[in-house]
């Protein structure tokens, strides 16, 4: 049960249906543009980000762990989420490391898409930083149920107590349009409360 709860926030955004939007141009954002962008702040985890005015704020993710944003391109979304790091792992606190989380995430994605008979092709993982925390970017491609070529970038950091996740889904043909804006978005991303603030879990007294 605990494992299901930990992964729910990040994976619910994967299986939820997308709203269709109309095509529109996505020009590179200037600093002035970014200052005029809207702001989303997550009440549960405290993370925040600026996003373009013409992107639609979609449905919240279950239990208030995040939200989905919809760029003005068909079949595209950017999902932002937070989660707790409460699974056992090899870190000094006995919790999952970033590498362990990435391995589990890749396995779950492959299994999830496999149940829909969709073949996933993984690209090489990338090390990066998300709001000052070490992070990983997992990227994969596939063909959806309409045989359209899709690409997804999953970015996540993992602190001692909490993690942050960003899922980018876009048609492969539109990747070059959306990713520059997402890159500028991530420059405005703030992680919220300290992901390392809480000490390791202690069994409750009986």
Residue pLDDT, tens place only, 150-162: 999 999 999 888 9
> What is residue 203's predicted lDDT score, i.e. its pLDDT?
44
Q: Angle at which helices 2-15 and 98-114 pack, to 10 degrees?
A: 60
Give the pLDDT score at 27: 52
Mean pLDDT of 57-74: 95
pLDDT band at 48 (very low <50, low <70, confident <90, very high): very high
For residue 90, the model assigns a pLDDT of 84
pLDDT, the chain, mean: 84
Q: In whole angstroms, what is the distance from residue 94 CA to residue 5 CA?
A: 18
State whether the Cα torsion 5-11-16-18 is positive or negative: positive
pLDDT of residue 56: 97
User: Is the pLDDT score of 74 beyond 80?
Assistant: yes
Question: Given this model, what pLDDT does residue 205 score?
Answer: 47
Q: Is 193 helix (H, G, I), strand (E, B) or coil?
A: coil
For the chain, the structural domain boundaries read: 2-18+42-187
Mean pLDDT value across residues 83-91: 84
Evaluate if residue 105 carries a pLDDT over 80.
yes
177-201 pLDDT, tens digit each: 999 999 999 999 999 887 877 544 4
What was the pLDDT predicted at 17?
Answer: 38
Q: Are 86 and 2 in contact (CB under 8 A)?
A: yes
pLDDT at 198 (0 to 100): 56
CATH architecture for segment(s) 2-18+42-187: 3-Layer(aba) Sandwich (3.40)
What is the DSSP annotation of 17-32?
PPPP------PPPPHH
pLDDT at 1 over 90: no
Mean of the pLDDT values across residues 17-37? 59
Q: Which stretches does DSSP call E strand in 52-197? A: 56-61, 66-70, 77-84, 121-122, 126-130, 133-143, 149-158, 162-171
Judged against a pLDDT cut of 70, whether residue 18 lies above it is answered with no
Give pTM, 2 decimals.
Answer: 0.82
């Amino acid at each position: 049960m605990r494992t299901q709860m930990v992964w729910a926030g990040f994976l619910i955004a994967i299986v939820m249906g997308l709203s269709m939007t109309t095509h529109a141009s996505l020009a590179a954002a200037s600093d002035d543009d970014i200052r005029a962008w809207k702001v989303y702040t997550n009440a549960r985890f405290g993370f925040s980000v600026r996003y373009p005015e013409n992107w639609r704020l979609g449905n919240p993710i279950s239990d208030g762990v995040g939200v989905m944003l919809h760029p003005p391109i068909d079949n595209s979304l950017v999902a932002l989420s937070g989660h707790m790091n409460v699974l056992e792992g090899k870190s000094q606190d006995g919790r999952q490391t970033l590498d362990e989380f990435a391995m589990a995430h890749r396995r779950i994605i492959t299994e999830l898409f496999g149940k829909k008979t969709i073949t996933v092709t993984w690209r090489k993982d990338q090390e990066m930083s998300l709001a000052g925390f070490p992070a990983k970017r997992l990227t994969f491609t596939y063909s959806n149920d309409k045989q359209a070529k899709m690409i997804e970038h999953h970015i996540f950091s993992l602190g001692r107590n909490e993690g942050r996740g960003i899922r980018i889904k876009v048609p492969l043909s539109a990747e070059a349009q959306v990713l520059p804006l997402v890159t500028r978005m991530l420059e405005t991303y703030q992680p919220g409360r300290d992901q390392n603030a809480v000490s390791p879990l202690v069994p409750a007294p009986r």
